[in-house]
């Protein structure tokens, strides 16, 4: 039985690396005595595959992993057993069974939404958004492995939403992940700085979720599975 799981990583765990996060989940699987399947070979490991890497420094509202089980169990049973042993800083919110042939998360996730929470007392955020969306190119120096190359973010920025709360504004930027261009959150920070939004106004950054974009629609990796059915 194969399942796909959506979980939230609380802001206290924002400094964990991807490997640390994988350990947290694997150890919880063992503590909860989940009937996980093991790989063959000299060094058997749990058949777990993680979604896209949550960057160090960010927390995540909707993160994903796929897991292979060696026997059937109910989805509710899985979630409640896991939540009982996970630290309070991580919580499983949804899960569903997926077909054996469902492509891996890393293959299908092609969009991400990052949320920048800013202290917006005296900035006109919607004017900023309009001018960003009206530009033809949004050039930054790339970060990550291929550092310092000119990179145009324009074609990978799908939409920018603004949500005003009392004191702060959430800027939600929906971007491409992988193809056609892989946009990192720190590149977005550079872009914001360049387009006149002072990074000192940002009080929190997190990843709202990973999505499968088909046409103009963004599907949750859980929902998308059902769409195929």
Angstrom distance (rounded) from CA 34 to CA 28: 9
In the complex, the smallest distance separating the C-beta of residue 125 from another protein, rounded to whole angstroms, is: 21
Residue (of 153, 155, 157) closest to 143 by Cα position: 153
Residues 6+ apart with CB under 8 A from 193: 199
55 vs 221 by CB, closer to another protein? 55
Interface residues toward another protein, by CB under 8 A? 11-17, 19-20, 23-24, 26-31, 38, 42-46, 57, 85, 87, 89, 203
DSSP secondary structure string, 34-60? --B-B-SSSS--B-EEE-SPPPTT-EE
78 vs 211 by CB, closer to another protein? 78
Q: Which two tokens stand for residue 25?
A: 């989940």
Residues 25 and 85: beta-carbon distance below 8 Å:
no
22 vs 162 by CB, closer to another protein? 22
In the complex, the smallest distance separating the C-beta of residue 189 from another protein, rounded to whole angstroms, is: 12
In the complex, the smallest distance separating the C-beta of residue 31 from another protein, rounded to whole angstroms, is: 4
In the complex, the smallest distance separating the C-beta of residue 122 from another protein, rounded to whole angstroms, is: 21
38 vs 127 by CB, closer to another protein? 38
């Amino acid at each position: 039985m194969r399942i796909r799981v959506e979980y939230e990583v609380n802001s206290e765990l924002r400094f964990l690396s991807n490997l640390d996060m994988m350990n947290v989940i694997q150890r919880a699987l063992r503590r909860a005595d989940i009937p996980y399947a093991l790989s063959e070979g000299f060094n058997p490991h749990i058949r777990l595959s993680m979604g896209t890497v949550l960057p160090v420094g960010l927390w995540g509202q909707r993160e994903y992993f796929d897991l292979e089980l060696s026997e059937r169990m109910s989805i509710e049973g899985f979630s409640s057993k896991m939540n009982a042993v996970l630290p309070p800083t991580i919580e499983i919110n949804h899960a569903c069974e997926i077909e054996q042939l469902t492509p891996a998360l890393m293959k299908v996730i092609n969009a991400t939404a990052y949320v920048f929470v800013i202290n917006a007392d005296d900035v006109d955020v919607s004017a900023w958004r309009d001018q960003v969306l009206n530009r033809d190119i949004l050039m930054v120096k790339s970060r990550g492995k291929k550092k310092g190359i000119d990179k145009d973010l324009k074609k990978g920025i799908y939409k920018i939403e603004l949500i005003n709360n009392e004191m702060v504004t959430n800027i939600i930027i929906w971007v491409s992940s992988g193809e056609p261009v892989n946009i990192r959150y720190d590149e977005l920070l550079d872009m914001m700085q360049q387009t006149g939004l002072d990074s000192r106004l940002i009080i929190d950054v997190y990843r709202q979720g990973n999505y499968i974009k088909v046409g103009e629609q963004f599907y949750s990796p859980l929902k998308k599975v059902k769409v195929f059915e």
